[in-house]
Chain A
Amino acid sequence: MTATLVVGLDGHGSGERAVAYAKRMAELIGDCNLLIVYIIEWSPYTFQTPEENAERHKRREEEIETALKRVVDPTVKALEKDGITAKGIVRHGHVADALNAISLEEKAEQIIVGRSTASGIAERIFGSSTAKLVMSASIPVTVVG
């Protein structure tokens, strides 16, 4: 049976460390797929102007394309080059909720995320997302420091 590990990326160094750890685990497991996931922080309960609404679909496509091009695809390619089976997903939502939802959909064994070392607001947001994920995930979570 193939094991699936979900790896949460944040576009920073901590995500790279999570990928490196996941890669090591995949090599140890042998029959293992890595799912590289990038969540674009988004809430359905924000307030927008009519013009922003009208352009939302276009913006969403652009956001997904940018995330794929800059973060997800290069990681997937690098892993495949090293002989690891990997797939990329970009989705909008709350980091913790979306990572958990994808893990359940894909019947993953484990979620691997990095602990952000970035300072300021980014750390607060990602830091709390990691904590929330650990608290609420339905499957085991590994936080890579």
Chain B
Amino acid sequence: MTNLNKFSLAMGVLAMSAVPAIAQEAQTMDEKINAGFASATGWFVNFIFAPLPGTSFPWIVMWLVIAATVFTFYFSFVQLKFFKHAISLVKGDYSDPNDAGEVSHFQALATALSGTVGLGNIAGVAVAVGIGGPGATFWMILAGLMGMASKFTECTLGVKYRNEYEDGTVSGGPMYYISKGFNELGLPGGKILAVLFSIFCILGALGGGNMFQANQAHAQIAGILGDYPGWITGIVFAVVVYAVIVGGVKSIARVTEKVVPFMGILYCVAALIIILVNYDKIGWAFGQIFDGAFTGLGVAGGFVGALIQGFKRAAFSNEAGVGSAAIAHSAVKTKEPITEGFVSLLEPFIDTVVICTMTALVITISGQLIIDPASGNYVVEGGKIATVGGTSGVSLTSAAFASAFSWFPYVLAIAVILFAFSTMISWSYYGLKAWTYLFGEGKTTELIFKIIFCVFIVIGAAASLGPVIDFSDAAIFAMAVVNITGLYFLMSVVKKEFNSYKSRLDSGEIKKFEH
């Protein structure tokens, strides 16, 4: 065993053993973590979600919507015009057989998707529909469609400006394209933005990519096994994640990477069956979605409430404009960075337009949201729509699926745990890339981040949902503030690539390969 291995083992054991040692007083431990966490992060959350003056509309949501709209128009509806081409690229029609063995478009897309498909699609949608009503779905779909253009822009840049090292490994992402791209265009401030992005990315990795996942995974396990302290789940998760990211136990990651797509498909099939069995309610459900989108159907905050929830949860689920996907997509082997942009625009489509919509339809159709028979509006209690059994988050989705298949909550629990795990693995990598951008590449610096990451799993599992979800959202949206600022300055670079590729595709210079 090398000294480094010994050091990492010692640090790991220390980190893991510290929490249970303090937690001797059992139950109060969760409460202490919770209170401390909420007071430490409150100011940050308040700033990110501050409403626009004179309204109740958070400025950050407006920021994302405007960006997605700008990119959609700037690239003249690339998400519609190049949708078919994107599928062709994923199928490998344009891949040079001599590049076989490199990361394929499909693999880059699948890796990025396994980082985004997960709790956002299950719990996030339930939160959106539970607060904003079915109308939130309409805004969620719209945000997903528009977000495709944001994703296209950031992923093209991710590949274009990635670092390729002598040993053949690559690092990419907003911190690289912002600093290198700004330099190339002679713009000042690139380095500062890149550093800022990296800081928020680390917070996002620890929040949405870690604590939120651990928290919801614990809620699922506790739902089945009965209530017990969250830090116990946290430690189990932390040990497994530690084994994968530090111990290099690739077999665990490999199993997860294979089971996660299977769970994703199973989830969609189950949702489709429920929707098809209730085919007579599909029209009504879409009616609720469209009516609710503009009137709110009596939910808290009316149509603005539905809109805010829809956009918020869509952004949290598909991460378009956040910059995380650019890190995942930058590993692909291609001579044309723009092709990865095309492929990545499928991500918000699959994640939000398809999977999130299915969840929302199942919740709406299942009748879990209580409607006042007299007025036809939803019954609102404490800012949320009243549900059968008072459920929210994952448990609302679970109850909705259980109304058709009584055994489904068990499958969903396993899915949530696996989704949580694969999302954590993805985000540990995103966070690590931001960390090494700030502190330099090297085994010891990497190890420090990985240990911090594991400790936060325990904190996330122990804290209650409210403060965790607020902090997770805030950190991820803070990444979008910096990333989108960078994208505005660099979108002309993407446009050049786009025009050049388009003309070569039209002239027949870029051809399909025969396979």
Chain A residues packing against B (C-beta within 8 Å): 40, 42, 44-58, 60-61, 63-64, 91-93, 97-98, 101
Give the number of A-B contacts (CB < 8 Å). 95
Q: How far is the CA of A47 from the CA of B250 in the complex (A)?
A: 13
Q: A47-B107, A50-B115, A50-B328 are in contact. Are A56 and B102 (CB under 8 A)?
A: yes
Kindly list chain B residues whose C-beta atoms are within 8 Å of the C-beta of A47. Answer: 107, 110-111, 114, 257-258, 260-261
Q: Which of B97, B106, B108, B254 contacts A93 (CB 8 A)?
A: B97
Q: A47-B111, A50-B331, A54-B331 are in contact. Are A98 and B100 (CB under 8 A)?
A: yes
Kindly list chain A residues whose C-beta atoms are within 8 Å of the C-beta of B168. Answer: 55, 57-58, 61
Q: How far is the CA of A48 from the CA of B115 in the complex (A)?
A: 11
Q: How far is the CA of A124 from the CA of B100 in the complex (A)?
A: 23
Q: Which 5 pairs show the lowest CB-CB distances between chains A and B?
A: A92-B101, A58-B168, A44-B104, A53-B331, A47-B257
- Give min CB distance, A128 to chain B, whole Å: 19
- Give min CB distance, A8 to chain B, whole Å: 16
- Nearest residue, chain B, Cβ from A90: B101
A-B contact pairs, 28 of them (CB 8 A): A44-B95, A45-B106, A46-B107, A47-B111, A47-B258, A48-B110, A49-B111, A49-B253, A49-B426, A49-B429, A50-B111, A50-B327, A50-B328, A50-B430, A51-B429, A52-B250, A53-B103, A53-B331, A53-B332, A54-B169, A54-B170, A56-B101, A56-B102, A58-B167, A91-B101, A93-B101, A97-B515, A98-B97
Q: How far is the CA of A47 from the CA of B71 in the complex (A)?
A: 30
Secondary structure call for the B interface: helix
Kindly list chain B residues whose C-beta atoms are within 8 Å of the C-beta of A46. Answer: 107
**Interface assignment of B425: CB less than 8 Å from any CB of chain A:** yes
- Give min CB distance, A48 to chain B, whole Å: 5
Contact with A along B118-133 (1 / 0, CB 8 A): 0000000000000000
Which residue, B92, B95, B111, B164, has most C-beta atoms of chain A within 10 A? Answer: B111
**Interface assignment of B333: CB less than 8 Å from any CB of chain A:** yes
Contact with A along B270-285 (1 / 0, CB 8 A): 0000000000000000
Q: How far is the CA of A144 from the CA of B258 in the complex (A)?
A: 36
Q: How far is the CA of A42 from the CA of B261 in the complex (A)?
A: 19
Q: Cβ of A60 and Cβ of B101 under 8 Å apart?
A: yes
- Nearest residue, chain B, Cβ from A102: B97
Q: Which of A48, A58, A93 contacts B100 (CB 8 A)?
A: A93
